[in-house]
Amino acid sequence: MSGLLMAVSIVATGACGALVLPQLVSAAQHLLHSAQARARFLGDDGKHPVLISDFLRNGVRLLRWLSRLLVGNCRLRAFFEVSASALRTCAYVTGERQVCELYCLGSLTVFSVAWLLSGNPVLGLSLAIALVFLTHTRATRVLRSWAERLREQIPDALRSLGLCFSAGYSLQQALEQTAAETPDPLGAELGQAVCDVAAGRSITEALDALEKRTSARDLRFALVALEVQHRTGGSLKELLENAAAAVVASGDLHRQLAVQTAQARLSARIVSVMPLILVGLLSVVMEGYLQTFFSSSAGFMLLTIALGMEALGVFAIRRILNIDLD
């Protein structure tokens, strides 16, 4: 009887696979063709893969309800905003909702594949959490590197603006000249401000948009001074030179602090990831390693307390190392 049931199960599984697999292939082909069509319509520049750009621009429709629920939380929204900002610095068009949907899709895929291959849901959950953590860490690193490059370019850009004002240029002409002489990323941001003015926005609106895009606090004082100069007139050369010197001093302090806290940051990353890796490896090597925690209420309570203490420790370390000099 059991053999008959097993045979029926195998036949039913094969029949379902034969019916579902062509539908999945057809859906994937339709998705790829739609992405290519949208890319051609929007003007694909060939710098990024078409399918990845389309996913980042439009997200995953099936997971939209989940992304709305998660992005509604302020802390989770800030978490996804880091990855979205990092992708935008790489010339991708995306937002918090799309990034959240891709996080969910990647986590579910890793969890399902690891569970099916190993037969251990704990391993799948550990790998999914590690994927999210490593991806967020990489996004934070990209965003920090972009901000450091932009901060290093601010003094030269301010001096260039001061020279343009000394030569009698208007604010718009000074921005155009500085944007042409400054490399990316600050040059691209100044160029976007010039394009905003050319498209009909006022100088004040363009400078406000520049401040929101860059989030560079070293640039805020200079932007306020530029707005005052645009409204009232007057010489800004000395003011911009002093602002450039202040930015240079702030950059030196940031670099010194980064060197002094580098070892602590590395230790924090290792301490955060190591428990997840150890749990995943031990649950693969030792069958039933975590079964005790799920077989009784006391074990489940201890596991919950351990995870809470781990999360609290990571949060405390990040708060200690998150030194804001601005």
* Residue of 75 and 103 predicted with greater confidence: 103
What the block records as the tokens of 297 is: 């209420």
Label residue 265 by pLDDT band (50, 70, 90): confident
pLDDT at 75: 83
CA angle centred on 267, ends 262 and 270, rounded to 5° = 130
pLDDT tens column, 45-69: 555 566 677 777 887 888 888 888 8
Label residue 224 by pLDDT band (50, 70, 90): confident
Q: Is the pLDDT of residue 217 over 80?
A: no
pLDDT at 323: 63
pLDDT at 20: 46
pLDDT at 88: 85
* Residue of 202 and 54 predicted with greater confidence: 202
Cα separation, 187 vs 143, whole angstroms:
17
The CB-side HSE value for 102 (13 A sphere, CA atoms) comes to 22
Q: Is the pLDDT of residue 290 over 80?
A: no
* Residue of 238 and 8 predicted with greater confidence: 238
pLDDT tens column, 2-36: 445 444 444 444 554 454 455 555 555 655 565 55
Label residue 262 by pLDDT band (50, 70, 90): confident
pLDDT at 233: 64
Q: Is the pLDDT of residue 322 over 50?
A: yes
Label residue 273 by pLDDT band (50, 70, 90): confident
Cα separation, 191 vs 249, whole angstroms:
26
* Mean pLDDT score across all residues of the chain: 76
Per-residue H/E/C for 44-66: CCCCCCHHHHHHHHHCCHHHHHH
- CA 128 remoteness from chain centre: 17
Label residue 312 by pLDDT band (50, 70, 90): confident
What the block records as the tokens of 92 is: 């991708």
Q: Is the pLDDT of residue 196 over 60?
A: yes
